[in-house]
A and B are shown apart, each in its own frame.
Chain A
Amino acid sequence: MLAKRIIPCLDVKDGMTVKGVNFVNFRDAGDAVELGARYSREGADELVYLDITASHEGRKTFTQLVKNVAARLSIPFTVGGGINEMRDVDRLLSAGADKVSVNSAALRNPALIEEIAANFGSQVCVVAIDANYEDGRWMCYLNGGRIPSGRDLFRWAAEAQERGAGEILFTSMTHDGVKDGYALEALSELSGLRIPVIASGGAGRKEHFRDAFLHGKADAALAASVFHFGEIGIGELKAFLAGEGINVRQQQVI
């Protein structure tokens, strides 16, 4: 049976992770490759590396980081941030990324999804959606949640699927950073899609991951700070989820 996935997300600026890490005895706090390797050892199912650099130089550094991650890790990883056109997709996949996540660029130019799917297959194309709950509706935002797009979450997710997206990564801006759980109702509605849905935004406790899978019917759950700050260990999280009857891949000793 297919396991529910746990996905740590690492924000990267100039090749280093930006969110603080306070693991005990962890000497390479800012090193994005080392942190990814650590998560992999602890049982992360996939990783997401998000480039939050704006400069051209930063982009080059990120591409080199992707090569280093691909050389080191033996689990799949997605890269996102600053992907505007096919040239960016080609550069990152050639560097060894397994999937790319497109967000604002897909909202501005939805045909980009079809282009990625046609050239590299749907499985590499993750469409990331930042949405906020307002006036009874879930509305999509551009540029890291700064610019309203006027598009409805469910309609955009369905369109992205039809255009060839392989997965939807839904971040609730309403829940992000609050640590009071994922947007369960919206997730549950998105689970009607044919393609997998990754829940993002709101994880604070282990129970929140359980709820994302059981009530939100998500296929995967992504989180950043609870992992980076060592509040929840991936091993203990998976043991908890298994105890709640959720099918997860527990760390395997060979």
Chain B
Amino acid sequence: MKIAIVKYNAGNIYSVDYALKRLGAEPVITADADVLQRADKVIFPGVGEAHTTMAHLREHGLDVVIRNLRQPVLGICLGMQLMCRFSEEGSVDCLNIFDTDVKRFIPQGDDYKVPHMGWNTLDNVKEGGIFDSRQESRYVYFVHSYYVPLNAYTSAATDHILPFSAALQKDNFHATQFHPEKSGPVGEAILSNFLRL
């Protein structure tokens, strides 16, 4: 099975690579459209800033490539946000795979800091796709300052300041706001589920 990780100007690519290797996979990290299109699975990771990252994707034609992928795709963190319609981070139009916007958290005192950083629960998990019965109410690791509101594509929710999307799914596109590659055994189970799709 060929697994491709989209290479672009963002961090976090190595930890996804390491996590997949721990599961016995041998991913390739690439920005080559042909390699991405021919892969069995594509992972679109990311830690970074939405505006500069979208500009980079467009410049390299990766926006069109990602939008037109037909195999299972997993967006992680910024990857998930860039798969939405529009992000308030740098007010930028994104890939519009998920017809929903990305909004900025407003800090709310001692209990609700921004960034939303640390372990939070997966609520109302929709089984199938990357989730199974084991993930409901389990903790996974989040680090982000922008969020995707609950919407028709929400496949798991979490709660910090307000309930929002921990994961999204539409057709072959799966996405997590949290980092499965940094979420211990729970995250490993989710990545394994994705590899089995």
Contacts and interface: CB of A to CB of B under 8 A. Distances in A.
Q: What bracket does the count of chain A residues touching chain B fall in?
A: 35 or more
B14 A96 contact: yes
A75 B121 contact: no
Nearest first, the 7 closest Cβ-Cβ pairs linking A and B are: A249-B139, A194-B107, A249-B119, A3-B119, A254-B185, A123-B143, A196-B113
A70 B18 contact: yes
Nearest to A120: B11
Nearest to B159: A1
Residue from the set A2, A120, A220, A254 with the largest chain B CB neighbour count within 10 Å: A2
B186 A76 contact: no
Interface residues of B, number: 40
B48 A121 contact: yes
Interface string A177-203: 000000000000001111110000000
Interface of B: 11, 14-15, 18-19, 21-22, 47-49, 107, 110, 113-121, 134, 138-139, 141, 143-145, 159-160, 179, 181-189
Chain B binding surface SS class: mixed
A164 B139 CA distance: 27
A219 B145 CA distance: 16
Nearest to A3: B119
Residue from the set B21, B118, B188 with the largest chain A CB neighbour count within 10 Å: B118
Chain A binding surface SS class: loop
A167 B114 CA distance: 10
Nearest to B19: A74
A94 interface: yes
